[in-house]
Amino acid sequence: MKQLVERERLGTTICGYDAADPDAFDTSCGHFRGDVPLEGLSFVSGHAIIAWGVAALLWTVLPGRWRWIPVGIATLNAIARVYLGAHNPLDVVGGGAIGIAIAALLIVAVGMIQHRRPTDR
- Alpha-carbon distance 59 to 18, whole Å? 42
- Alpha-carbon distance 55 to 76, whole Å? 12
Closest CA to 13 of 35, 41, 48: 41
Domain boundaries, the chain: 2-116
**CB distance 9 to 40 below 8 Å:** yes
pTM score over 0.85:
no
Q: How do residues 40-70 score in pLDDT, each as one tens digit?
A: 666 788 889 999 999 999 988 888 899 999 9
Q: How do residues 80-101 score in pLDDT, each as one tens digit?
A: 888 887 788 888 999 999 999 9
User: Using N-to-C axis directions, what is the helix angle for 89-116 and 68-83, rounded to 10°?
Assistant: 150
Q: How do residues 69-78 score in pLDDT, each as one tens digit?
A: 999 999 999 9
